[in-house]
Structure 1
């Protein structure tokens, strides 16, 4: 479902000229992130669920650590970029084309990717430099920073402090920008007199707001508390949401609540419009 749904969004956004807009440009990158999340984590999880061998090589664990952290950090910034796009669309509709020009859109996406890769190089490298003193059992379904910090046999105060600072930069700050954007959007929507106009304005933002709630609600719980204070079962359950559940739900949320995407899908499959 994840592969099919996200691939379909990327495909229709590329093939349908009506979807060659900043909103669907950012949505395509979000779908690509979800595809990478799935292919980077789920195959190994399925192997562990289907067989008696629950091990992963050191190289595979390192790859999962770098890939998952880079993708998660990039998605945090990208969701904030998408909220700014929705702010301009609702609050500055007459200037939307002028403000959200292609060069700015490419620059914002590049910033999201580069910042995600940069923080990954710092956090993952610091984590892998910790001595684990022979502890090899990662009580989790994939390798991520909080769980590896718990394996260290030395004082990890510096690593936990660094992780907390990075979490503030990539979770709290983008989420604050998202909330500010939606605060302005709510004020603009309330000033619209017609009910149809309010529904249309709300429809352009509701899908993204739902995705933000699911993604940030779980990942903040995982990363904004000390690594040794969370229970192992809580960590596993919460991680399932932003690594498995969210990539499945994103295409459904955007297709079921978006008439433009549904129309493009029908056109792609050769079905008549409603």
Structure 2
């Protein structure tokens, strides 16, 4: 089976390095595709050996995320004509197989359907201490709250159309709760703290004077700290479940939360939140990255 991984970045050094190390270790850098939104020497250095595609860095506008995901959908749909599986997503999301005795590639090979959504989890630190970047991150941050937002249809076996943010698809997705998509934006790294402030500035510029100012566009960037507090509350109040328990329970939650709105299939966030659970990764998975 041939698998490829695709992402898009702009000066995301920390997460790009982690993304390349993790997925490159599985399939080799030659099967990684990185779209750089603007030329950047550090991105080129970190992505050395990968397939780097540099596009012009035009000023962001209110339609930036729609354009970005239309591009990612098109590139992923092209790649899946060559590869058996294509995984597309943001650089701060990494996918793991919850079965400790199987690799991620083993599970991807078993995927059925044209597009599949893993179960998404917001990893959250236990305290405010900075991550020790010389140790595996999952040893330090190994719990995550279930997220309908990040249960993204991101595994393609055929060409597909993915909506803005990667949060939905035009095609009805399969759900594979044995796969966990871990969203890493709340890791306490020095770079990430700085990045949060930068993203807010970009989003404020992009939506200035727009009637989408209070809409969905870049809401996660503009209201980063408010969202962080909200996720922290969900994380702290959710009951814990083990990696072994998660697939059965979470699969039922996500299946019950399916929705179709404006031609896009996704998950009803309210229904997912009504059944919040906090995943505890098996200790055998905590050395993956």
Q: More helix by proportion, 1 or 2?
A: 1
Larger strand proportion of the pair: 2
State which structure, 1 or 2, has the greater radius of gyration over its C-alpha atoms: 1
TM-score, length of structure 2 as denominator length: 0.25
TM-score of the superposed pair, with normalisation by structure 1: 0.26
- Structure with higher RCO (Cα < 8 A, 6+ apart): 1
